[in-house]
Amino acid sequence: MDHVVHCVVITSTGCQEHIVDTTPMSPYVTDILGGEVTFCGSWDDSHILMLRLKNPPDENEVVPRNLLPNTSIDTEPLKGPLLITKLDMDYNPVNFTVVDYEDLLRSLEQDS
């Protein structure tokens, strides 16, 4: 299994693809987001996950709603950064690119 995969990070300025090491015990999510992480959304039977900081600093900017899937919008704005990753059938991280994220956004728009 390949332990180097792509994930998507969303900030107030847009989406970026990150290449991460997903070996067991790798703190890549904490490293990218910068602190303690919490779950904030899922799609595709929970194989695509959105994570955010549990307590984002006050200075972190809000992610514009147009960068988020309609189904992920909470009652309050989400402060970035957000990380989206995809899991295989065994719940191991696999590649999830900006193109994959854009496809997800389009499919969710069509479904709504």
Assessment of whether the complete model's pTM goes beyond 0.85: yes
pLDDT digits (tens, 9 = 90+) for 14-32: 999 999 998 888 898 999 9
For residue 52, the tally of other CB atoms under 10 A from its CB is 22
Query: What pLDDT shows up at residue 4?
Result: 92
Query: What pLDDT shows up at residue 1?
Result: 54
Domain ranges of the chain: 4-111
Q: Is 57 exposed, middle or buried (0-12, 13-18, 19+ CB in 10 A)?
A: exposed
Three-state SS at 16: strand
**pLDDT by 10-residue block (mean), the chain, 112 residues:** 88 95 88 93 90 95 88 71 95 94 89 66
Give the dihedral of Cα atoms 35, 40, 45, 49; nearest 10 deg: -30
Query: What pLDDT shows up at residue 59?
Result: 95
Query: What pLDDT shows up at residue 82?
Result: 96
Q: Are 77 and 92 in contact (CB under 8 A)?
A: no
